[in-house]
Structure 1
Amino acid sequence: MAQVDGQTLLMAMQAVQMQIRLLSEEVDQTSEDDDLTEQEDLLAGYMRAADALRVAYETEELVGSNLPPYELLISGS
């Protein structure tokens, strides 16, 4: 796996979380008659990416980086 510094992970996680929020809102606001397959597939992909980024971020936290805790980042605090 490529080495990515903590700051880059942080920014990638924030971008992915924003896309998850936007897609979730889009899916929630769409009527039942609309075909959501593409949006739902994209949302699932972003959720998988978020999981992978979480693992990488938590690993980076363990090596003594100066990053905020993961839970603090995703809570929006």
Structure 2
Amino acid sequence: MLDIPPELFKRRDPSRAHDRLEREAPAFRRRVRDGYRLLARRSPRTSLLNADRSESAVAADVASRVGRLLARRRLAPAGALT
């Protein structure tokens, strides 16, 4: 699960069209984020990733975590078979 404070998410791409949920008050968006973070903490199958970083840093973190998951399951990550 990619986690970023709502204020930062909104500033990332101000030209992006916002849907109904993104037009809600900041307090609402914080409650939604808190709910997702709680679900992530309670679920052993969910990994919470800090998305308040560069796109390349987040992508590298996702690839690393997926790679470790595949290794635990003894599966080859994409591209490893070439």
- TM-score interval, smaller chain: 0.3 to 0.5
Relative contact order, CA 8 A, sep 6+: which one is greater? Answer: 1
TM-score under structure 2 normalisation?
0.31
More strand by share: 2
TM-score under structure 1 normalisation?
0.33
More helix by share: 1
